[in-house]
A and B are shown apart, each in its own frame.
Chain A
Amino acid sequence: MSENNNQTKPDRQVWTGIKRGQSWHPVEWVAEKLIFLVSLTAIVMVFLIFAFVTREAVPLLLGQINSAATQTVIPLADMDKTPPEVLQAYLELTPEQFASMDRDTKLLLMQTKLDAAKEAPDDKDARINTTEWRYLFWPYKWTGYDQPSFIWQPVSTIKKYNIVPLIVGSIKATVVALLFAVPLALAAAIYVSQLARPKFKEVIKPAIELLSGVPSVVVGFFALIVIATVLQKMFGYESRLNAFVAGIGLGFAIIPVVFSIAEDALTSVPRSFTQAALALGASRWQAAWQVVLPAAIPGVFAAIVLGFGRAMGETMIVLLASGNASIMSWNLFDSARTITATIAAEMGEVVAGGDHYRILFLIGSMLFVVTFLSNMAAQLVMERLKKRLEGKA
């Protein structure tokens, strides 16, 4: 009996709501409009997230931020000649602060600026605005380094904001996570949806879904305390916390994601496919591997893309288990610092509105764009798959 009742009849699936009653009710009309307005919240929120995360990075994109250690100074005598906007930016004040200060306070601030300029480091790099694009993405030969290098060093006299090491760190951890989680999750999805007995399926699915209920800070803690020690004993590498450990930890977090989406896709392949294959003499495994999996392959792709997005955006696990040293290295067993961990670790210590603060929002918006695009791609693929399977069924 369960077999037939599980599948809703097609005409029930296209249910699009109730026709309004015969007479026109103003209350009904108002309620419908209100409900519609509230349902727009999700769209508004996605838009607001994009707008307000990038908003804080806009001055950086427009080149209005200068992070040079030595700045051009305005002599005290020129104070009245300089336009107020320039003066306000020069003194690093908000408009409200600027308006509330009297002339003497401003003079005093200018004097401190002058004094600071006198003590500024005597360095060829001191006048460089390190927030320009080429210092963010290209290697540069900093004083004290014998070759051009990628350096993320936001807390020092000359603040170096090269984000390539962070991107490399994120990619390393993500690749390890995918290599660990995808084969396991896919195999489990094939087993649960095609090969296992229905009763077994009813037990195993909630168990794997329960894994997604483990908070990421707990997975991170487990990676830090247990996995790191075990793996170090197994492989004998030098730094205890590294991209590899973080990647394995991330794998724990993305297994349920990849599993549940791949399992959905495989289950949505019509049963007639399997039955036809079995009728032709294929074994259960052959039917699953050569008929059902190829039919559901876009869904599997979507599962991997969503897993990638989750791994890139996961914060607490990498913050706890990756070691957090921003070394530019492709070695998996070196300590690594990811984009998310950098934001989480450094946002608490920055001056609001300063160049470091804006850089963190910039990499945050980059992260948002990357995950947004991978989400859209996965959704498109899934929708097409659904249409194709429904057409064939």
Chain B
Amino acid sequence: MHPSPTKDFRAKEFRYSSFFFTGITGLATYLIVALLGVVLVNIIIHGWPGLSWRFVSTIPKKDVFDPATTGILPMIVGTTIRVVVMTVFVLPVGVITAVYLTEYAHNTSVMTRIIRTAVNNLAGVPSVVFGLFGLGFFINFVGHNLDLVFNNGEQAWGHPSLIWASLTLAVMTMPVVIVATEEALKAVPPGLREASLALGATKLKTIFKIVLPQALPGILTGGILAVSRAAGEVAPILFTGVAYYMSDLPTHLTDQFMDLGYHVFVLSTQSPNIDQTQPILYATVLVLLILTFALNIAAIFVRSKMRRNMRSLH
């Protein structure tokens, strides 16, 4: 390991301006990390005492604000189901789009540029607009027309439910999967593809048998990041499926559901006695944070491992 050139070629004399500004920018960097630290420590300290097995495994029977009897099992189940259903839809579409962009399309063609622009724009659409889209498209258009065709106008699909919330989230997280998969596919050495083709494999076989298996960790990273992003989002599901209270777990895709993030919102704003509900509020936030952070850290871990493997292949 030889040192990088910029590290060795330092100015000889000591300069106060350089020292000062390096300090200032370094301080800003530490401040950001400290802010993250404060948020995490505050939530862990206040949330930990409220956390118990009873709390995470209880279905609240009537009053979600009563610290002694309430629980968050239906919220955990609801959030889990909606991200699982979302993954089923978003992974194939995202991966196939990335395969097209890296393996089939020409980098400079107009079509590729339009697709890339669309993906970037999709990533920038505000989450509440996704909620409006889910309501306007999936519920009022798709759901309503399904009812008209299959149910003689009786309402079975045209109302907020798990399936529509999941589909809305799938549209929202598509860019995450596409970008991560693309990165993974680009990291597969061209030599592997050439070797496979030289042995007589077709292009499709090469993609399925050689390229995709090599890129699997990257695709996994994309999936995990999408799930983590979707698990914490509340705005897109506000009008597309989340329920304020349900006495039972959802059993069908057309049921409404309770959600961890939305429950945090409910506990923060609707509580009749803030001091009394604060411990369960903090505990709920902690559970949500553990869920999303575990996924995020897993993604970072898988990605760094993948990069190391790739480096040894090149």
Task: Give residues in A with beta carbon < 8 Å to B.
Answer: 1-3, 5-6, 12, 14-21, 25, 27-28, 31-32, 35-36, 38-43, 45-46, 48-49, 52-53, 55-56, 96, 183-185, 187-188, 190-192, 195-198, 204, 206-211, 213-222, 224-226, 252, 255, 259, 271, 274-275, 278-279, 281-286, 289, 306, 309-310, 312-316, 319-320, 340, 343-344, 347-348, 352, 360-361, 364, 367-368, 371-372, 374-376, 379
Closest 5 CB pairs of A and B: A215-B232, A313-B126, A187-B28, A39-B100, A283-B18
CA distance A12 to B189 in the complex (A): 8
Question: How far, in whole Å, are A184 and B101 apart by their CA atoms in the complex?
Answer: 35
| CB-defined contacts of B265 to chain A, threshold 8 Å | 217, 220-221, 316, 319-320
Question: A36 and B104 in contact (CB under 8 A), knowing A46-B122, A206-B300, A372-B121?
Answer: yes
- For residue A286, give the distance in angstroms from its CB to the closest CB of chain B: 7
Given A204-B33, A214-B292, A347-B239, 19 additional A-B pairs, CB 8 A: A18-B103, A21-B203, A36-B100, A36-B104, A38-B93, A46-B121, A48-B137, A56-B132, A206-B300, A207-B36, A213-B229, A215-B289, A221-B285, A225-B268, A283-B11, A314-B127, A340-B128, A343-B132, A376-B121
Q: B61-69, B80-88, B170-178: which one contacts chain A?
A: B170-178
Q: When the two chains form the complex, which single residue of B1, B33, B175 contacts A1, counting CB atoms closer than 8 Å?
A: B1
Contact: A38 with B97, CB < 8 Å?
A: yes
Can you sample 25 A-B contacts with CB below 8 Å?
A12-B190, A16-B106, A17-B106, A35-B100, A42-B115, A53-B132, A55-B136, A56-B140, A191-B28, A195-B25, A208-B32, A213-B293, A216-B234, A221-B281, A222-B39, A271-B5, A306-B124, A313-B125, A313-B126, A316-B234, A320-B268, A364-B132, A371-B124, A372-B125, A376-B117
Contacts of B223 in A (CB 8 A): none
Q: A12-B190, A216-B234 are in contact. Are A40 and B115 (CB under 8 A)?
A: yes
Interchain CA distance A196-B170 in the complex, whole Å:
38
Chain B residues, Cβ within 8 Å of A226: 42
Partner pick for B264 among A218, A340, A372, CB 8 A cutoff: A218
Chain A residues near B17 (CB-CB < 8 A): 283, 285-286
Chain B residues with Cβ below 8 Å from A190 are 25
Chain B: CB-nearest residue to A185: B32
In Å, the complex CA distance between A221 and B280 comes to 13
Which chain B residues have a beta carbon within 8 Å of chain A's beta carbons?
1-2, 4-7, 9-11, 15, 17-18, 21-22, 24-29, 31-33, 35-36, 39, 42-43, 92-93, 96-97, 99-107, 114-115, 117-122, 124-133, 135-137, 140-141, 153, 171, 174-175, 178, 186, 189-190, 193, 197, 200-204, 206, 228-229, 231-235, 238-239, 261-262, 264-265, 268-269, 278, 281, 285, 288-289, 292-293, 296-297, 300, 311, 314
- B43/A188 in contact, CB under 8 A: no
- Given A27-B204, A49-B129, residue A214 in contact with residue B289 (CB < 8 A): yes
Query: In chain A, what residue has the closest Cβ to B274?
Result: A225
- A284 contacts B24, C-beta separation under 8 Å: no
B131 and A344 contacting across the interface, CB-CB below 8 Å:
yes
* Nearest-neighbor residue (CB-CB) of B124 within chain A: A375
Give the distance to chain B from A358, nearest Cβ to Cβ, in Å. 11
Chain B residues closer than 8 Å to A191, beta-carbon distance: 22, 25-26, 28-29
| A-chain residues with CB within 8 Å of residue B200 when the two chains form the complex | 21
- Are A38 and B100 in contact (CB-based, < 8 A)? yes
Whether the pair A368, B264 counts as a contact (CB closer than 8 A) is no
> Which residues from A are CB-within-8-Å of B39?
214, 218-219, 222, 252
Provide the residues of chain B in CB contact with A361, threshold 8 Å.
132, 136
Is A42's CB under 8 angstroms from B175's CB? yes
What are the residues of chain A within 8 A of B127 when measuring CB–CB?
216, 313-315
CB–CB A347/B135 < 8 A: yes
B5/A275 in contact, CB under 8 A: yes
The docked-state distance in angstroms from the alpha carbon of A21 to that of B197 is: 7
- Given A217-B265, A314-B126, A376-B121, A211 and B141 contact (CB-CB distance below 8 Å): no
A46 contact set on B, CB distance < 8 A: 118, 121-122, 125
Other-chain residue from A5, A18, A207, A217 in contact with B193 (beta carbon distance below 8 A): A18
CB distance from B158 to the nearest CB of A (A): 10
Contact A313 B136 (CB under 8 A): no
**Cβ of A15: which chain B residues have Cβ within 8 Å of it?**
102, 186, 190
CB distance from A277 to the nearest CB of B (A): 10
Judging by beta carbons under 8 Å apart, are B296 and A283 in contact?
no
B27, B114, B135, B285: which contacts A43 (Cβ < 8 A)?
A: B114
Complex Cα distance A21/B193, Å? 12
* Chain A residues, Cβ within 8 Å of B171: 45, 49
Please state if B21 and A285 are interface contacts (CB–CB under 8 Å): yes
Q: Kindly list chain A residues whose C-beta atoms are within 8 Å of the C-beta of B292.
A: 213-215
Chain B residues, CB < 8 A from A40 = 115
Task: Kindly name the residue among B1, B100, B132 whose own CB sees the greatest number of chain A CB atoms within 10 A.
Answer: B132
Give the Cβ gap from B49 to chain A, nearest Cβ, in Å.
16
A49 and B18 contact, CB distance less than 8 A? no
CB-nearest residue of chain B to A372: B121
Please tell me which one of the listed residues B7, B15, B189 contacts residue A283 in the complex, with CB atoms under 8 A apart.
Answer: B15
Known: A35-B99, A208-B33. A216 touches B93 (CB 8 A): no
Question: Which of B103, B137, B203 contacts A52 (CB under 8 A)?
Answer: B137
Cβ–Cβ contact B234 & A17, under 8 A: no
